[in-house]
Amino acid sequence: MNIAFILDPLESINIHKDSSFAMMREASQRGHRIHALHQEDIVLLEGRIKAWSREIFLTGRDPDWYEIGEILPGHLAQYDAVLMRKDPPFDMEYYYATQLLELAEREGARIFNRPAALRNWNEKLSIARFPEFTPSTLVSKQESALRDFLDHHRDIVIKPLDGMGGSGVFRVRENDPNTGVIIETATRYGTKTVMAQRFIPDIEKGDKRILVVGGIPAPYCLARIPKKGETRGNLASGGKGIAQALSDRDREIAGAVGPVLEKEGIFLAGLDVIGSHLTEINVTSPTCMQEILDQTGCDVAKMMIDLLESKCA
C-alpha cells in the first residue's frame, strides 16, 4: 500500500510520543510505502485537487529519524489511504483543508477520518450527542449564563471549543475573585463561545483517553493524572500518563459511541472520560498510542493499520 500522512512539520514530531509516527512505523514494518504532506501542499487547480508529497524512509535513528525522497506533484486518489493527522487548533485553515479533502474524496481518495466528519464532530460539542454519559454542560458566550451555571454548580471548568492540550482551560469556584476576568478572557468579552462543565473530582484519578479504532475500543486506556496543583490531566500540561484496563463504564461509553463514530466515517477517535463521564471526543489527531504500547504491550497502531488494510483491500 501507499499511505499518505497529512502532518505537522516532520521536524516537530517526537518519535517517542507521537501516534502518527507509531502508525508510520507499523506500516513501514509491513512493507507499505509512507508519504508525507503538509496542509499547504494540498491545492485546488483547474477543478482538480493536487498534492505535493514526498516519500519518507524511516531510519530508526533519533533525531534524524527519516530520510526524504523527491517532492512530486500528484493527486490524493493515487494513494491507497490518506490519513489526516494535522494537529489542532481547528481554525479556518483547517476548515478549508477539510473542504479540499472532501473534493479529493469525490475524485476517489480514501481519507481517514472523513473530512465531513472532521468538520461536523467538534471535539467538545460532539459529546452533546450522548447526553446520557456527559456531565452537566453549558455552551454559551453570555457572562450571565456562565455566572448562573457557576452559581448552580459552585465548581466548574470553562474551556474553548477549538483548543487542545488543555490550553485555555480554567477551573472556577464560587466566590473566586477572578471569576469576572476569567469569563472575559475565555469568551473574549462575550465574542467567543465556550463550554462550561461541572467540575468532576475524579480528575485526580486521571482524565482517561480511550482510543477507538473502527468503532472498537482498545482494551487499555491512558489515565492522564494532573500534576500537583493542577486540575488538567493533559500530557501537554504536565500530566502523568498511566495505562490501565478499561472499566465496565468505559466499555459502556465506548460501546455506545464507537459504532456511531464508525458509521460517520471516524475510524480513529480518542474518547476522554473523567470518572463515569464522557467529556470530549477527539477526532482530529488523537494520540497516546505509544504510552499505552510502552506500558501494556497493547499496540493500537497495529489495530489502525489492520483497519486500513481491510478498508483498502
Task: Please list the active-site residues.
Answer: 124, 159, 209, 224, 232, 272, 280, 282
User: Could you tell me where the beta strands, DSSP code E, fall in the chain?
Assistant: 2-6, 33-37, 42-45, 48-58, 66-74, 81-84, 111-112, 137-140, 155-160, 170-173, 194-198, 207-213, 216-217, 220-225, 240-245, 268-274, 277-282
Element (H, E) at 248: helix 248-264
Query: Any idea of the CA torsion for 274, 265, 93, 237, to the nearest 10 degrees?
Result: 20
What values do phi and psi take at 305, rounded to 5? Answer: -70, -35
Cα 146 to its chain centre, rounded Å, is 26
Q: Which residue has cell 456531565?
A: 135
Give the distance, in angstroms, between the CA of residue 266 and the centroid of all CA atoms in the same chain. 11
Residue type, 255: G
Sign of torsion over alpha carbons 151, 157, 158, 162 = negative
Nearest-CA neighbor of 266 among 211, 207, 209, 195?
A: 211
Please provide residue 133's backbone torsions phi and psi, each rounded to the nearest 5 degrees: -110, -5
> Which strands sit side by side in the sheet containing 137-140, from one edge to the other?
137-140, 194-198, 155-160, 170-173
Spatial separation of the C-alpha atoms in residues 190 and 187, rounded to whole Å? 5
Give the torsion through C-alpha atoms of 141, 145, 148, 153, to 10 deg: -60
